[in-house]
Structure 1
Amino acid sequence: MAEEQAAEEATEGGKSKKKMIIFIALGAILVAALGAGGAFFFLSGNNEEAAAEVPAEPVRQAAIYTKVRTLEGKPSFVATLQSNDGKRHYMQAFVEAKSRDQAVADALTLHMPLIVSRLNALFASQQFEALQSVEGKQQLRDASTELVQSILQEKIGKPGIEMILFTNFVMQ
Structure 2
Amino acid sequence: MSAAGAPSDGTQLAASLLDEWRGEQDVNKCEALIAAIAASQDAARTDALMRIVEEGDAASRNFAVLAWQGLPAHEVLRGASLLESAHADARVLALSVLQAAPGRDVEPLLIGLLSTEADANVCAAAVELVAECGTRAASPALLAARERFAGNEFVAFAIDQALRQTGAGNE
Same fold, TM exceeding 0.5?
no
* Greater helix fraction, Structure 1 or Structure 2: 2
| Bin for the TM-score computed over the shorter chain | under 0.3
Whose RCO is larger (CA < 8 A, sep 6+)?
1
Q: Which has the larger radius of gyration?
A: 1
